[in-house]
Amino acid sequence: MERWGGLYVLILAIIVILGGADGQLQENFYAFTCPNVEFIVQQAVATKFSQTFVTIPATLRLFFHDCFVEGCDASVMIASPDGDAEKDFKDNLSLAGDGFDTVVKAKEAVEALCPGIVSCADILAIAARDVVVLAGGPSYNVELGRRDGLISKASRVAGNLPEPNFNLIQLNTMFARHNLSQFDMIALSGAHTLGFSHCDRFANRIYSFTPSNPVDPSLDPEYAKQLMGMCPQNVDPSIAINMDPVTPRTFDNEYYKNLVGGKGLFTSDQVLFTDESSQGTVNDFANNGFDFNGAFVTAMRKLGRVGVKTGDKGEIRLDCSRFNS
């Protein structure tokens, strides 16, 4: 019986390994090759978080920016000596270094126990889940088996990241490219309950919205005054403020309550409430945190499947910032 039991385990291991070769992600992908990977990453993320809260929004945003360009393949992690990698594109220059450092530290910890086994892309996906949990958000099982991408070009970023002035059609169009619905998009936008933005990303809404309405009329007047106080005209564009003015360090449904109250920081935030076709979902998430958490988990798992590389379409990078070859 022991012999048959051992054979069963061997067959199961082969199935798991081969399962990654045909593009299928699996929650137990590293069950036999690095069974403690999620715990190792979790510990590294927790250590980084104990040093700075920025770990949370920075890592989550890094995952979004990675998946929307070339797919979830850690291509955003590449550092180019010529300054022409994804991270060098203007929209990625504001990505906080703590997000990159979180993945680097987690990768080092994983390599110490499972050398050459776990991709940077998978580590980033696990870390994104872990920071949501650290901020009080829902936990979920992360599908694994990604390989790291072989392309990272700044020129391929343009037009692939949502802009702060997007309307609902533009948002839906961009998310639909990745098999994400409007419902998914609204749920993922809830990540703006964490993190911060630089003043120049929304200054037009408080100073030059239109010739007749310098202040965006969809903004709550008191909130607009607060923004002007924190971001006066000609302020240093690197000055940053919280995306969520109420609970900026907690993953909750306050973002949607803010939208109902006219306190969405970006046009692309507030439009989710001002457009009738998305307003119902915003109202539901504002009134029911359980609904939001469930939708967010589903959307994050779908996002994690975008453009993944498996088998010989990618590599297991030894250093997340450099291609192996």
Buried b (16+ CB within 10 A) or exposed e, 181-195: ebebbbbbbbbbbbb
pLDDT value of position 237: 80
Work out the end-to-end distance of the chain between its first and last CA atoms, rounded to an integer number of angstroms: 46
User: What was the pLDDT predicted at 19?
Assistant: 39
Residue range 229-263, pLDDT digits in tens: 999 998 888 789 999 999 999 999 999 999 999 99
Confidence of residue 13 (pLDDT cuts 50, 70, 90): very low
Taking all residues of the chain, what is their mean pLDDT, rounded to a whole number?
93
Whole-number Å distance between alpha carbons of 162 and 34: 35
What average pLDDT score do residues 217-240 get?
A: 93
Q: At what angle do helices 276-287 and 182-189 cross, to 10 degrees?
A: 50
Residue 145 assigned to a binding site: no
Does 162 appear as a known binding residue?
Answer: yes
Note the pLDDT tens digit of each residue in 88-106. Answer: 999 898 899 999 999 999 9
**Class for domain 36-156, per CATH?**
mainly alpha
Is the distance from CB of 164 to CB of 47 less than 8 angstroms? Answer: no
193 known member of a binding site? yes
Residue 184: pLDDT band with limits 50, 70, 90: very high
pLDDT at residue 12 greater than cutoff 60 = no
101 is in an annotated binding site: no
Position 16 pLDDT exceeds 80: no
Residue type, 111: E
Label residue 325 by pLDDT band (50, 70, 90). confident
Fold entry, domain 168-303: Peroxidase; domain 2 (1.10.420)
On whether 71 is known to bind a ligand per the annotation, the reply is yes
Instruction: Write down the pLDDT at residue 122.
Output: 98
Sorted by where each begins, the domain ranges of the chain are 36-156, 168-303
Residue 198 among the catalytic residues: no
Reported as a pLDDT band with limits 50, 70 and 90, residue 23 is low
Rounded to 10 degrees, the C-alpha dihedral 143/144/145/150 comes to: 100
pLDDT number for residue 185: 98
Contacts of 71 by beta carbon, 8 Å cutoff, 6+ apart: 149, 306, 307, 308, 309
Length of the chain counted residue by residue: 325
Q: Does pLDDT of 78 surpass 80?
A: yes
Could you tell me which of 36, 30, 41, 37 has the C-alpha nearest to residue 106?
41
Of 1-10, 117-126, 260-269, 303-312, which range is least confident?
A: 1-10
- For residue 98, the model assigns a pLDDT of 95
Write the pLDDT tens digit of every residue in 292-305.
999 999 999 999 99
Query: Is 75 one of the annotated binding-site residues?
Result: yes
Q: Give me the pLDDT at residue 162, please.
A: 95
Which tokens go with 229? 């106080």
d(CA 10, CA 46): 34
Q: What is the mean pLDDT of residues 9-37?
A: 68
* pLDDT tens digit sequence for 130-178: 999 999 999 999 999 999 999 999 999 999 999 999 999 999 999 999 9
Unique residue bearing structure tokens 């609970």: 247
Residue 11: band (very low, low, confident or very high) from pLDDT cuts 50, 70, 90: very low
Return phi, psi of residue 82, to 5°.
-95, 0
pLDDT, position 170: 98
User: Out of 65, 201, 205, 257, which one is annotated catalytic?
Assistant: 65
Look at residue 8 and tell me whether its pLDDT is greater than 70: no
